[in-house]
A and B are shown apart, each in its own frame.
Chain A
């Protein structure tokens, strides 16, 4: 699998601003039709978000009569009230902590395995690889009841680190799938030279393989962020103390609590989605790369 080479090819292709010359849409009517369709789809996506934003800036009275339009007067107090009336800051910090821990666990456990699988030949290699990759198909629901009971036996409910460990474990399959193929595409000559120079395996790994796999590591980290930032089921089962809730479950409580005050509710939801949108803006290319690498086996 040389997906990353292909990806970089895509990139250069995209970056040359010229369109695919062979596929230029000549017909003006067709062109208009395509634009119309894409614009409608884009509006269907953006309008609810714009509308949520507008709602968060309205007074309750304004919202009741003026459902669609922009606010008659822009009020920011909804944000202040939602921020004060909830623990959104705590939820976010908890989510950040769990996400951070997940990333570290994922990277620390999967880089060495991927390295060995990509670079060494040994008897059990295929079995190990496929056992790990098979995990990509396992829905977490199939393991959730025993996991829940196991954590109960340890008396470790309401422990953010345990949650991070579970998330990390469930990221192992896809991360190795991506990293192994990435590492396989690093030219072997480099490390042969290193070996001749008397470099140890550990040094080779730390000094050559890890730096050269930086892009792959970033990709698996980015995908892990998306997965555990939005995760609902496991965190719901593992955490019930209000001060330990992650953002998704905190948000559910928030929605129930502010149920009648739509404007403040909208402000709270806005605050909850802003980090995701910022993350998307910053990591857009890596997210796309990761999605493609995780899906395609070439």
Chain B
């Protein structure tokens, strides 16, 4: 249908309310953070324009680079783990062996839990007092190697990565599974008749045929990892010694605990730019028409 003069006002009435909210509460604040990033707050009430000073102090800050590094490690490892587990489990569920529905339902459970609860559960597991990890390591004869992971700068980030994977892998299982379900049956069938099976089948048929979904999962997961805040905040608060401080937490600490608002806004813009660049960049790199 085309808009005729008669109903143009109706259409506007349909578009305006939602658009206003979106512009005012989503787009405007983003623009505003660009403006705020060029101001410095001497007290909470007074601010002055300082140009690019905040950017200079961010790029000169060691803690910024540390949290950038943490974020990159976190991003790459959660994506890798979740793609591997999501693909494998999604494929196993796709094979529809007896009882597959049960597994499919179970794999998704952690995704719906509040991250505060998940963080607590994992803190509890890792804790030296009553945790599960210590007796588990004792059971496999590694008792003397146990160190409380969350208080060790070398292990804390790994511990959080494991918890994060536990928490959100279910989404990937579902997404991969739906991708496999959409592969054209005839093609799979004829491949089977031609003798493809097992690993060969996955490598030559499944991966190319579901390339779209693989691409999508990797992009979503990477950009999603950039936003991770809840679990780290609950489990470690960024410590010990900033070893688990991811970019969003760095932003939070600087703007709402140290009240360095200009600095925080620079981080906000960096996160925004990274999200955009990653999405577009990866779309380009992984651009390859899937066969169907």
Q: Give the B-binding residues of A (Cβ under 8 A).
A: 6-7, 9-10, 13-14, 19-20, 22-25, 30-31, 34-35, 37-38, 41-42, 44-49, 51-52, 55, 63-64, 67-68, 105, 108-110, 112-113, 115-116, 119-122, 128, 131-132, 135, 137-150, 165-166, 168-170, 172-173, 176, 191, 200-202, 205, 226, 229-230, 232-233, 237, 247-249, 251-252, 255, 262, 265-266, 269, 272-273, 276-277, 279-280, 284, 287-288, 291-292, 295-298
Contact = CB atoms under 8 A, between A and B. Distances in A.
Contact of B112 (A116, A279, A298): A279
Interface stretch (B59-67, B91-99, B151-159): B91-99
Interface stretch (B30-38, B50-58, B72-80, B140-148): B30-38
Contact of A34 (B95, B121, B124): B95
Interface string B101-133: 011011111101111110011101100001110
A139 B272 contact: yes
B233 A232 contact: yes
B256 A230 contact: no
Contacts of A38: 89, 92-93, 103
27 contacts: A7-B178, A13-B181, A19-B95, A23-B96, A24-B95, A35-B97, A48-B122, A49-B109, A51-B132, A55-B130, A67-B131, A68-B132, A68-B135, A121-B1, A142-B30, A142-B269, A143-B268, A145-B36, A145-B255, A146-B32, A146-B33, A146-B36, A201-B10, A229-B114, A232-B116, A232-B230, A252-B234
A30 B217 CA distance: 27
Q: Is the interface of B mostly helix, strand, loop or mixed?
A: helix
A147 B268 contact: no
B275 A139 contact: yes
Interface of B: 1-3, 7, 10-11, 13-15, 17-19, 21-22, 24-30, 32-33, 36, 85, 88-89, 92-97, 102-103, 105-110, 112-117, 120-122, 124-125, 130-132, 135, 166, 171, 174-175, 178-179, 181-182, 185, 188-189, 192, 198, 201, 212-213, 216-217, 220, 223, 226-227, 229-230, 233-234, 247-248, 251-252, 255-256, 261, 264-265, 268-269, 271-272, 275-276, 279
Nearest to B233: A232
Given A42-B107, A116-B11, 8 more contacts: A45-B110, A48-B121, A108-B18, A112-B18, A150-B29, A170-B25, A287-B112, A291-B174
